[in-house]
Chain A
Amino acid sequence: MTFLRQAGVIARKDLRIEIRGRHAVGTMVPFAATILIAFGFAFGPGRDVLERVAPGLLWMALLFSAVMASRRAYQVETEDGALEGLLLAPIDKATVFLGKTAAVALELLVLTIAILFLVVLLFDLALADLGPVVLAFALGVIGLATVGNLFGVVAEYARTREAIFPLLVLPLVTPVLIAGVRATDLATSGQAAESASWLGLLAAFDVVFVSAGILVFGYVMED
């Protein structure tokens, strides 16, 4: 119970900082909206094309936003050396990983709702079978937040952190991107039952990376 309570304390702290500073959401929402609108114009007014590319655009906007949110989650820790404070606190460091991952995942969920709304509005995406779509995004944001946090702390100790972070994260989250796009595409094109295997892949990815994060995060944080 102490473990989950401490993770909750870290998550509340990060969410409070984000709500007050609006750093991540203030950057992510306009960024995601710009991507969607720019591609909307690029593909022209044809409804068929827009419907086909909408799942890919949605996930691409979410992916880049996840990179930004995860970087921000560690910037607040290094502005005044707070990360050293967490390191020296006599707590299981896995609680820091879980708390920060939960906070980023929640931020991304809020963003997902906003960009889903935009996609439905701009691209006329059909969300008749909402269950698999919601599940795909819920599992997807957990996967993106998990990898982002695991490598956020790794990058924090690198001198070229701004360059190295996307290089570490983007190749690793490719399975999330592929599975997310396929699951969303199938669910929005009337083949929801066939999205189960992709949802399974997303769930498996989450289990592997959450477990890995809990096990190794403490070692990564230490000198």
Chain B
Amino acid sequence: MRTLSRQDVGLREAAVDLRGVTRLFGEVPAVVRVNLAIERGEAVVLRGPNGAGKSTLLRIVATSLSPTYGGGAVLGFDLANEREQIRRRCELLTHRTRLYEELSARENLLLFADLLRIEPARVDEALEHVGLARDADERVRGFSHGMRQKVAVARTIVRDPELLLLDEPATGLDDSARAVVDAMILDAAAKGRTIVIATHHAVTAGLSARVVSMRDGHVEGQT
């Protein structure tokens, strides 16, 4: 007898479907038996104090970390065996910008455009969009944290991922950089992208999001 899939019964495939996910660092549990389902197009905010397990959970969804126990699917692909398919469709933006200091803003973006065969013209459009067109050829070494985060946002815009994962994206940002991050989040939401934000800061104004509270690696509740 064939098992019915979510599509068979009229349900849309979940963007994120975690089942019993536990992650240990040595003996220390960072995430404990988390079950979490996020629908496609939904925005979810993971709230909780430092050490609650928000970042670890995001990295598990992004496939940067593996669950020690449990598993699940992201955008319909298995977390354990279909990592490359997930990576093709998802982008993780953190307060660490993952830029090369000796390269210019444009070169940093062109690196990923080259690797992923993305039209180079989109790099200039994205830099224009985040207000860095004039500084595009300056080395990132001389950039403030806010400017670096704008470059990282531009990289996300270039990729236009189906699933956007943000880990404390507003940490240490001035108003101008924060506005760029907020605009990107709202734009992604308007396009129907799935968004998961881990933060203990105020959520982007105007974003309608489900809030999932975490503490000590456990999901405490949802509102």
B130-171: CB near A (< 8 Å → 1, else 0) gives 000000000100000000100000000000000000000000
On chain B, the residues within 8 Å of A21 by CB distance are 102
Instruction: Report A73 CB to chain B, min CB distance, Å.
Output: 12
- Asked if A89 CB lies within 8 Å of chain B CBs, one says yes
For A, the interface residue count at a CB cutoff of 8 angstroms equals 22
Contact B139 A20 (CB under 8 A): yes
Tell me, in angstroms, the Cα distance from A137 to B100 when the chains sit together.
Answer: 30
Contact B88 A90 (CB under 8 A): yes
Contact B87 A90 (CB under 8 A): yes
Q: Which of A10, A79, A80, A90 contacts B116 (CB 8 A)?
A: A90
Q: Which of B84, B100, B111 contacts A76 (CB 8 A)?
A: B100
- Asked if A223 CB lies within 8 Å of chain B CBs, one says yes
A190-223: CB near B (< 8 Å → 1, else 0) gives 0000000000000000000000000000000011
Contact B96 A17 (CB under 8 A): no
Contact B102 A20 (CB under 8 A): yes
Q: Which of B96, B99, B107, B112 contacts A89 (CB 8 A)?
A: B112
**Nearest A-chain residue to B98, judged by Cβ:** A85
Instruction: Report B160 CB to chain A, min CB distance, Å.
Output: 14
Q: Which of B32-40, B42-50, B59-67, B175-183 contacts A (4 or more CB under 8 A)?
A: B59-67
- Asked if A87 CB lies within 8 Å of chain B CBs, one says yes
Residues B69-124 near A (CB distance < 8 A): 83-85, 87-88, 91-92, 94, 96-103, 107, 111-112, 114-116
On chain A, the residues within 8 Å of B98 by CB distance are 80-82, 84-85
Chain B interface main SS type: mixed
Most buried by A among B101, B116, B148: B101
On chain A, the residues within 8 Å of B111 by CB distance are 9, 13
Contact B64 A88 (CB under 8 A): yes
> Given A80-B101, A89-B87, is A223 in contact with B96 using a C-beta cutoff of 8 Å?
no
On chain A, the residues within 8 Å of B84 by CB distance are 90
> Given A6-B115, A80-B96, A81-B94, is A16 in contact with B102 using a C-beta cutoff of 8 Å?
yes
Instruction: Report B218 CB to chain A, min CB distance, Å.
Output: 22
On chain B, the residues within 8 Å of A76 by CB distance are 100-102
Tell me, in angstroms, the Cα distance from A162 to B103 when the chains sit together.
Answer: 25
Could you list some 10 contacts between A and B, CB below 8 A?
A16-B103, A17-B102, A20-B139, A80-B96, A80-B148, A81-B98, A82-B99, A90-B87, A222-B83, A223-B64
